[in-house]
Chains A and B, each alone.
Chain A
Amino acid sequence: MIKNYLKNTWDGLYTILIGMKVTWKHLFVPAVTIQYPEERVPMVERARNRLFVNINDCIGCGQCATACPVDCIDIETVKSVPPDDLGLTSNGKKKMLWVTKFDIDIAKCCFCQLCVFPCPTECIQMTDVYEFSEFKRDELVYHFANLSDGEIKEKQDNFEKFQAEKEAQKLAAAKAKAEAAAKKAAEEKEKNEQSSSENETEKPEEE
């Protein structure tokens, strides 16, 4: 019994010394942590973080908005009218639409990257920026479209005017056509009337 008692005492002190040796060694192990805002762990390649849209390359096709599973992309476009030249995208596609609204609500974004693949011009991309917290949720909605309100209005007016002109032209054309048709019909009628007497004689031939 006394042997056991002494052994307990010895074990108690000896194991404390072993533990102290371990902690002493760790005192000189370099820190495994880093000083965060100054040093950062580099992001891996293809890391998925904040979305970025290069609006100059966007053709406004809306495929990203369709692909998004959480509907966080909101696109509105206005068709360009003939004299406008929107230029080409960096990979040579012709731009046909004015992108009047390109909003991404990053608060809703689930970082699935599904919007990136369908883009024909590779203008929507995931960046390595991961610090974008805001105090208000509204500030998490990013507006990428670079047209001002005035410009948007102008484009819309242009388009409407163009549309109206087109409509007018169409109407005019239709009217002209109708007139032409009427004229033709009248002529036909006249002709018919004229030929009706002849028809009587020529009827067998016609059949």
Chain B
Amino acid sequence: MQDYISEITGSDLIAFIAGTVPPLAFMVVFTLFAVWLERKVSAHMQDRLGPMRVGYHGALQTLADFLKLLQKEDIVAAAADRPLFNIAPYLVFVGTFLAYAMLPFTSIYIGSSADVGIFFILAVSGFVVAGLLMAGWGSNNKYSLYGAMRSAAQIVSYEIPTALVVLTMLMFYGTMSLGEISLQQTDMMWNWGILGGPLTGIAKFLIIPFIFVAFILLFISSLAETNRTPFDLPESESELVAGFSTEYSGVKFAMFFLAEFANMFLVSAVLVVFFFGGYQSPFGYLGNLFGIEWLVPIEQTFWFIIKGLFFVFVQMWLRWTLPRVRVDQLMTICWKYLIPYAFINLLIVGLILLI
């Protein structure tokens, strides 16, 4: 994308900005929408109405909240470690934002053309842990520190099943670039990863159950990596006030919030790319049908965001269904269930792919 724009405009700077701004704009708009969606979904699941005052059914509520947050005083506690405290939210945000560089929104737009793709996403997601630890330590508050330690322990241990499942899928597709993976699932729904992907013949049918297991495993571990309920121990309100974000206010708090919701979409997008065809439409494109070429990327963006939003919705749905797990249960799920299953799944998928 960036190379293409720099060829057209002849300026690296414009190409750089044009390549960076869309994901940022998307993140902000998505966060505004997702916070509203979360509140509405939670409200309706509890037979309430949720925000109703600002705009149609409270649609502008998040915008109002965001404007309020911007006006708030930026408080730094006297005993806080100022440099760490101040830089932590931006580090968390940047870690999440960097990962967006690898997401293929359409066939023609992808932030970076690097081939490392999913590997890069896993790496910079690990970078977020450093930000959370800095926030917890810098706050000089026992609850913040507890939250940060739990978060670090959780994210680091759930990276193992995530990496194992990702490894399975990399074996399956044979490439690390998310754009390439999406490209392999082109055409119709039965080419999507969850339905056997680009394989043909008997192997396609043999592999479907194991791909499904991989999907469940990746979904659970990505849920844990985004610190969502039932794995929201790092910021469990009832125990730790607000975890690592206890001492934050104003813009810095908004940064944490933005990163959290952007991360939700990120893991959903990774799921979509691996199992649900990425930006591919489930049935042909209108643009191809009517011969309007520029419509295809718009449709692709639409499908990518719709699929991503569906998984964001499922995450919210789970949040209001399940209670929080205990710390020992968290570790049991990871080490006793997810990792053995991921290993066995990796072996079986490998064997099937040898056929």
CB distance from B148 to the nearest CB of A (A): 28
> Is A197 positioned at the interface, with any CB of B under 8 Å from its CB?
no
> Is A44 positioned at the interface, with any CB of B under 8 Å from its CB?
no
The closest CB in chain B to the CB of A13 belongs to B216
B37-73: contact bitstring with A at CB < 8 Å (1 yes, 0 no)? 0000101111111001000000000000000000000
* Contact residues, A24-68 vs B (CB, 8 A): 24, 26-33, 35
A29 B317 Cβ-Cβ under 8 A: no
CB distance from B105 to the nearest CB of A (A): 29
> Is A9 positioned at the interface, with any CB of B under 8 Å from its CB?
yes
> Is B322 positioned at the interface, with any CB of A under 8 Å from its CB?
yes
B41 A27 Cβ-Cβ under 8 A: yes
> Is A16 positioned at the interface, with any CB of B under 8 Å from its CB?
yes
* Distance between Cα atoms of A24 and B46 in the complex (Å): 10
B322 A16 Cβ-Cβ under 8 A: yes
> Is B77 positioned at the interface, with any CB of A under 8 Å from its CB?
no
B216 A20 Cβ-Cβ under 8 A: no
> Is B321 positioned at the interface, with any CB of A under 8 Å from its CB?
yes
Question: Among the listed A16, A33, A35, which residue makes an inter-chain contact with B321, where contact means beta carbons less than 8 Å apart?
Answer: A16
A31 B320 Cβ-Cβ under 8 A: no
Q: Which of A13, A26, A27, A35: most chain B Cβ within 10 A?
A: A27
Q: How many residues of A contact B (CB 8 A)?
A: 19
The closest CB in chain B to the CB of A12 belongs to B337
User: Within 8 Å CB of A9, what residues of B?
Assistant: 337, 341
The closest CB in chain A to the CB of B52 belongs to A35
CB distance from A6 to the nearest CB of B (A): 10
CB distance from A177 to the nearest CB of B (A): 82
CB distance from A56 to the nearest CB of B (A): 42
B48 A33 Cβ-Cβ under 8 A: yes
A163-179: contact bitstring with B at CB < 8 Å (1 yes, 0 no)? 00000000000000000
* Distance between Cα atoms of A30 and B45 in the complex (Å): 10
> Is B327 positioned at the interface, with any CB of A under 8 Å from its CB?
no
* Distance between Cα atoms of A117 and B111 in the complex (Å): 80
* Distance between Cα atoms of A16 and B321 in the complex (Å): 8
Are A23 and B321 also in contact (CB < 8 A) when A9-B337, A13-B216 are? Answer: yes
User: Within 8 Å CB of B44, what residues of A?
Assistant: 26-28, 31
* Distance between Cα atoms of A16 and B230 in the complex (Å): 11
* Distance between Cα atoms of A66 and B324 in the complex (Å): 59
> Is B13 positioned at the interface, with any CB of A under 8 Å from its CB?
no
A7-27: contact bitstring with B at CB < 8 Å (1 yes, 0 no)? 011001100100110111011
Given contacts A23-B45, A31-B47, 18 further A-B contacts (CB under 8 A): A9-B337, A16-B318, A16-B321, A20-B318, A20-B321, A22-B321, A23-B321, A26-B44, A27-B44, A27-B45, A29-B47, A31-B43, A31-B44, A31-B48, A32-B48, A33-B47, A33-B48, A35-B52
The 8 closest A-B pairs by CB, nearest first: A19-B321, A31-B49, A23-B321, A32-B47, A23-B45, A26-B45, A27-B44, A20-B321
